[in-house]
Amino acid sequence: MNENFLSVRIEEILMKSDRFTDAQIMGVIRQA
């Protein structure tokens, strides 16, 4: 998985919901 793509994906998630927790973000990374 491209690190750049992953960073952009996380930024999109954070912009959609600033209530995302680290655990939720890590879950998304594991799915990538």
Q: What confidence tens digit (pLDDT) does each residue in 1-29 have?
A: 578 888 888 888 777 766 667 777 788 88
Task: Note the pLDDT of residue 18.
Answer: 64
* Buried/exposed code over 1-32 (b: 16+ C-beta within 10 A; e: otherwise): eeeeeeeebeeeeeeeeeeeeeeeeeeeeeee
Task: Note the pLDDT of residue 22.
Answer: 76
- Domains in the chain: boundaries: 1-32
Calculate the CA dihedral of residues 18, 20, 12, 4 and round it to 10 degrees.
130
